[in-house]
Amino acid sequence: MITVKKLVKRFGPKIVLRGLDFEVESGEFVALLGPNGAGKTTFLRILASLSRPAMGEVRIAGYHLPGQASAVRRRLGVVSHQPLLYGDLTAEENLRFYGRMYAVSDLNARIAEVLDMVGLAPRRRDLVRTFSRGMQQRLAIGRAVLHDPDVMLFDEPHTGLDQDACVMLDTVLREVAARGRTVVMTSHDLARAADMASRFDVLSRGKIVASVRRDEMDTTDNLLAFYRDAVQEREA
């Protein structure tokens, strides 16, 4: 579903991604782990077609970036730590707006389904600026799945959420992943990632330095040890 070969991204003289290779099969849930500044967000922005690679090949669902960005965008749902929602619109109006942008058919019914899925149906007519951070993040997930994308990109979706909101968000994330979508999620929270992902890739200094499947990691402690080893080896 996602194929990335020898990806390079520069910001001026600074090289952020250094020949990164990455492959995700359809239906996989990949947790992308790495220290701050490893290039996780930059990588996700390239996959989301928000940033242009300097070199390398990126293909999503058979379409290449940036040449076929519009076809890729139609198949992508993106959730970041920012909600990408308008505070002065209601939850329903936000979804209606994005539904029109994605040309979603039967929009009213779809909005009702999505609000129901993220547990915000009773608050549909409330302004988003009155929502808690957790509610905004759940609505952000609703916005991202509104057009029924094949691929979901989550960029540290738990940032700034309290424990209760994280648990609620996890429930929605699991529901999204359970529908057979391909998911790539960056996270600093290894325990949360361990709970949901089917594969863990470690990104350090602009490259994927290690990868392991969930069935090869029986405990969160093992995952933590694996992560530390991978990062330290790269740093050395």
Partner 1 sequence: MKREAKLSTRNSSLSAPRSPLRDFLRALWAIVWKDLSAEWRSRELLTAMLIFSLLVILIFNFALELDARARASVTAGVLWVTFAFAGTLGLNRSMATEKDRGCLNGLLLAPVDRSAIYFGKAIGNLIFMFTVELIVLPVYSVLYNINLFRPGLLLVILLGSIGYVAVGTLLSTMAVQARTRDILLPILLFPLIVPVMIAAVKASGGFLQGLPWIEVSTWINLLIVYDVIFVAVAFMFFDYVVEE
Q: Of 111-119, 159-167, 209-217, 219-227, which segment contacts partner 1 by CB under 8 A? A: 111-119
Tell me which H or E stretch contains 9: strand 2-11
Q: Kindly state whether residue 15 participates in binding partner 1, applying the rule CB under 8 A.
A: no
Under 8 Å CB-to-CB from 104, ≥6 apart: which residues? Answer: 110, 146, 147
Q: Is 23 exposed, middle or buried (0-12, 13-18, 19+ CB in 10 A)?
A: middle
In the window 168-207, what residues touch partner 1 (CB under 8 A)? 179
Q: Kindly state whether residue 83 participates in binding partner 1, applying the rule CB under 8 A.
A: yes
- The smaller minimum CB distance to partner 1, of residues 84 and 166, is found at 84
Tell me how far, at minimum, the Cβ of 233 lies from partner 1, in Å: 31
Reference 140, options 163, 167, 172; nearest CA is 172
Tell me how far, at minimum, the Cβ of 161 lies from partner 1, in Å: 16
Phi and psi at residue 60, to the nearest 5°: -130, 125
Other CB atoms closer than 10 Å to residue 100's CB: what's the count?
A: 10
Tell me how far, at minimum, the Cβ of 170 lies from partner 1, in Å: 18
Among 8, 59, 86, 212, binds partner 1 (CB under 8 A): 86
To which residue do tokens 């990126």 refer? 58
Q: Please give the residue ranges that form the binding site for partner 1 (CB under 8 A).
A: 45, 48-52, 70-71, 73-76, 78, 80, 82-89, 93, 97-98, 100-106, 110, 113, 116-117, 127, 143, 147-148, 179
